[in-house]
Amino acid sequence: MTLVYCSIPEQLVNPLFEVFDGGDFVLSSYRSVEASLTDVQLYFPEAERTEEAKRLLKDALEIVGAEAELTVREVPDEDWKFAYRRHFTTERIGRHVIVHPDWEPQPKTNPGDVVVSIDPGLAFGTGKYETTKACLEFIDEAVSKGGVESFLDMGCGSGILSIAAKKLGVGEVRGFDVDQEAVEASRENAGKNGTEIEFFRYGLGAKVKRDLGRADLVAANILGPLLIKFADEIAPTVKKHLIISGILTELYPEVLEAFTRRGLKELGRKTIGEWTSGLLGA
């Protein structure tokens, strides 16, 4: 197995994932709590494709403005398939949500806790990312206050937000993602958790529009520029509350302004690391 990798600032990781167009090359990332930079990696079995992989990764790095030296090395096949599992452990997020890798022993719980068992595989969303963590906290808080009977997950990734909402007691839960692998991962994780959730493939801004309906609570954990670009499509889906996330803190005021102009008001915000997420009300 061939590995091409480099290290970049954490704030550029999500933008890199958004712009990387690698076909059947799959981008992954890892950051140690002791490290100041995040490793981004491409694993692939065909050594003769090394130059192609380097070119694709370099092109994406240039788009997001990251300067990084690419390194190539060979690794044993068994080392890469489940390498991410070493860095994904059981964690409590908010008051009631416990995110649990399904290869670890079942965690101890308190009354009112929900356990979300997740294997993200190739999809985004483990609860370790600052943006996902903020969304889970907002969902926990909103559902605990009552009045949340429906939830819409824009950019569902691994399905973690939808599964948490369902387990917290939301009746109608739907989610979509532009990536079919993410949709399939979400469906698989929903099944592992014994939850019935509608996941479908769709992308904001699609030429053929889909009626997304409306939900009491909507989560849009996508990049700040995309939130601004698609605010006209996101805002009408909100009955009561909208969670906006995936936003670098310096861009948050601009994203917030895009939604306040469409009749929503800020009810709260969370800044974790270099990312800020907001809870908006209709």
CB count in 10 Å sphere of residue 110: 9
Which has the minimum average pLDDT: 19-23, 54-58, 228-232? 19-23
pLDDT confidence tier of residue 82, bands split at 50, 70 and 90: low
34 pLDDT band (50/70/90 cuts)? low
Q: Are 201 and 176 in contact (CB under 8 A)?
A: yes
Q: Taking residues 199-204, what's their average pLDDT?
A: 94
Q: 83: exposed, middle or buried (C-beta count within 10 Å: 0-12, 13-18, 19+)?
A: middle
Give 94-110 pLDDT, tens digit per residue: 899 999 887 778 888 88
Sheet harboring 238-248: ordered strands across?
198-201, 172-177, 150-154, 215-221, 238-248, 275-281, 265-272
Q: Please state the rounded mean pLDDT for residues 44-58.
A: 92
* Main-chain phi, psi angles of 125, to 5 degrees: 125, 95
HSE on the CB side for 172, CA within 13 Å? Answer: 11
152 three-state secondary structure: strand
How far apart CA 98 and CA 115 sit, in angstroms, is: 5
> What Rg do the C-alpha atoms of the chain give, in angstroms?
19
CA distances from 75 to 40, 44, 50 (A): 15, 10, 14
Rounded distance, CA 16 to CA 27, Å? Answer: 9
What pLDDT, in 10s, does the model give residues 150-177? 999 999 988 999 999 999 999 999 999 9
Q: Identify whether the C-beta of residue 103 lies closer than 8 Å to the C-beta of residue 85.
A: yes
Domains (range + CATH), the chain: 2-84 (3.30.70.120), 88-281 (3.40.50.150)
Tell me whether strands 2-9 and 71-74 are parallel, antiparallel or unpaired. Answer: antiparallel
pLDDT at 122 over 50: no
pTM for this structure? 0.72
CB contact at 8 A, 120 and 88: yes
What residues pair up with 74 in beta bridges, in sequence order?
A: 2
pLDDT of 105 reads 80
Contacts of 33 (CB under 8 A, 6+ apart): none
Q: Strand 265-272 vs strand 275-281: parallel, antiparallel, or unpaired? A: antiparallel
CB 201 within 8 A of CB 180: yes
The conformation of residue 236, written as its DSSP 8-state character, comes to: G
Q: Rounded mean pLDDT of 254-277? A: 95
Q: Mean pLDDT of all residues in the chain? A: 88
53 pLDDT higher than 50: yes
